[in-house]
Amino acid sequence: MSPPTTAEAHRTGSYYGAFAYAVVILTCYATFFTTRQFFASEWMVPVVFGLGAIYAALGVLGGSILFCRARLMYAVYYLLQCGLLTLVVFLSPVRGFLGILVLPVVSQAIFDLRAREAVLVGAYLFAINIAVWAIPYGWDSGLQAVVNYSAAFAFTIVFTIITKQALNAREREETLRHEVEASHEKLRIYAAQAEDLATTRERNRVAREIHDGVGHYLTVVKTQLDAAAAILPTQPDRALAAITQAAKLTSDALDDVRRSVGALRTDTGRPPLPEALRELAAHGEPVPTLTVEGSPRPLPPGVEHALYRAAQEGLTNIRKHARATSALMRLDFRTPQRVVLELADNGVGATPAAGETGFGLRGLRERIALLGGTVDTGNRLEGGFALRVEVPA
């Protein structure tokens, strides 16, 4: 026999099962005190009571016995119960109403067993109730017993099936409710994580915009003002020109801030990328030599913006750290669906101890990675530092 498929609460170990066993057993055995007709020796009464007590104990404690849900335990349990009921029915001095004693096991089998196995148990218990009349009194009495017991068996089976379906439906509803609650909780967690991730990404994007845009202009402005302060006593005209250039760069920085605030991903007011890079290269020293290879083509706004910021970051690093006297900038359109930007200088290069701990290169890598591109940096063999950015476009 197979383990049950219903919940533990459906077994006769529950209050419902224990109550059903108690009521049926007490009702059946009460006939010993109300009848005056015995079909066998009165000395069989204590034997039948003893067997009934064992049957009742197994029935009431069946839930605990079957808690392990092992196939062998179910087979042993129902074989014992069917055997006890067979002895009680055939040995009982009182016949007729005592046959109802088998109904709790029929109901329990419907709850605990598969349909085929429950039918076998029910058919066997129905058969012994018919046989106890048919064997000693003939088939006419057996047929009469069929009529008498059919209603009780049919009611028990139908009522049990309806109850089982109702309990299973409630169990499925509870399971579904718990699953829905668990799913809602996961969705709330995922939504919170997505919100945190979106906030973090937005903060990083704004930080990159501030660093790459305003940071670049402030670096160049500081360079111009430092130069003006240094030459003001001896070369006032050149100092004035440097201050004028710093003022223009400050105005350009304000324009850049307005563009970033208005649309962080697009730069509608910026000229095409090659022209924008020429303007950018002219702000500060050294002024890099710009070469454009291949035929320039329209690029997605996000790609143009990322390459422009990459050029800003590269030039800022050259003017702040490289101590270079010359620099190169190359924009390469020759590879289909790829654009390459390279910057190189003849400065001191990067020391191994310095690494790339600054926010600028880290932010640049994040920006380019979002577009599916790559960033390569390193010292040049001929001296200086090189930055190479490649993005699909």
The predicted structure's pLDDT at residue 6: 44
Give the tokens for residue 172: 């499925």
pLDDT, position 358? 60
With b meaning 16 or more CB within 10 Å and e meaning fewer, what string describes 37-60?
A: eeeeeeebbeebeebbeebbebbb
- C-alpha pair distances (Å), 277 with each of 114, 308, 318: 79, 7, 15
Sign of the alpha-carbon torsion through 207, 349, 339, 289: positive
| Predicted pLDDT of residue 36 | 61
* Helix-then-strand count for the chain, H and E: 13, 5
pLDDT of residue 13: 41
- At 272, which amino acid appears? P
The beta-strand segments (E) located in the chain are 289-293, 327-332, 338-345, 374-379, 385-392
Superfamily of domain 271-393: Histidine kinase-like ATPase, C-terminal domain (3.30.565.10)
Show the tokens assigned to 72: 């062998």
Residue ranges of the domains in the chain? 8-137, 271-393
Q: What is the pLDDT of residue 119?
A: 94
Q: How many CB atoms are closer than 10 A to CB 362?
A: 15
pLDDT for residue 5: 45
Helix (H, G, I), strand (E, B) or coil at 138: coil
The tens-digit pLDDT sequence of the chain (393 residues) is: 544 444 444 443 456 667 777 777 777 777 766 666 555 566 778 888 888 888 888 887 765 555 555 677 888 889 999 999 999 888 887 776 678 888 988 988 888 888 999 999 999 999 999 998 898 888 888 899 899 899 989 998 999 899 889 888 998 999 999 998 888 888 888 877 777 776 677 666 666 666 666 666 677 777 778 877 888 888 888 878 778 877 777 766 666 666 665 545 444 556 889 999 998 888 778 889 999 999 999 999 889 989 998 998 898 888 888 889 999 999 999 999 999 999 999 999 887 655 555 667 888 888 899 899 999 999 998 889 999 999 998
What pLDDT, on the 0 to 100 scale, is given for residue 9? 42
> Pseudo-torsion of CA 195, 198, 204, 210, nearest 10°?
-100
